[in-house]
Structure 1
Amino acid sequence: MNLTGGIVLFTVLWFLTLFVVMPIGQRSQADDGEIVPGTHAGAPSGTPWRRKLILTTLIAGAIWAVIAGVILGGFVTRGDISNLDALIR
């Protein structure tokens, strides 16, 4: 894995993790009792972005480290991936 591949892998993992972390602990406007006129009662209210972005970065970093360790450690090679269809047959 080269530098560009590592950056792309981290970016993809970061956004996937963000979409998983965003709804965790989210409160709706109906839960808070303050519904803004013109919005749905189930719309989110007051998202703690700083905490969610830090949590996303930590989780994505840990997942990236495991995947990068597998790739750079030689546990999975390109030859293994090209011969993967032989395992299925």
Structure 2
Amino acid sequence: MGLTTYIAIYFIVWWVVIFAVLPFGVRSQHEDGKVEDGTEPGAPQRPQLLRKALITSVVALIVVLVIAWIIESGWIRLDMFPMPFDPKLYDLK
């Protein structure tokens, strides 16, 4: 597989991981008892987005490296999965 394929896999994994990591450690203004006027009480007090983005990047990199190792080592070959509209599956001439 090419580098661009692994980059695409990385971005897909990154988005999946960021949505899993976003709720960790978030406390709302209502939970802290410090609701500022004009804001939603459920808004996070300190979302720590930079920290979560860094954690997400590292976790996504590890996941993609494991996926790349599995594919490149030959444990799983992509040609073992049937692809839609594969001419070998259908007698198309």
The TM-score bracket by the shorter chain reads: 0.7 to 0.9
Counterpart of 1:86? none
Note the residue ranges of structure 1 that are not aligned, 5 or more in a row: 84-89
Q: CA RMSD in A?
A: 1.6
Separation in 2, partners of 1:77, 1:37: 57
Residues 24-60 of structure 1: CA deviation (Å, up to 9, x unaligned): 0101011222212233322212111221111111111
Counterpart of 1:87? none
- Tell me which stretches of 4 or more aligned residues in structure 1 moved more than 2 Å: 36-40
Count of residues in Structure 1 that have an aligned counterpart in Structure 2: 83
Structure number with greater CO (CA < 8 Å, separation at least 6) is: 1
Tell me which protein shows more helix as a share of its residues. Answer: 1
Provide the secondary structure at the position in 2 that maps to 1:82.
coil
- Identity across the alignment (%): 34
Q: Does structure 1 residue 20 correspond to structure 2 residue 15?
A: no
Counterpart of 1:32? 32
Query: Superposition pairs for residues 1-89 of structure 1, below 5 Å?
Result: 1-82=1-82
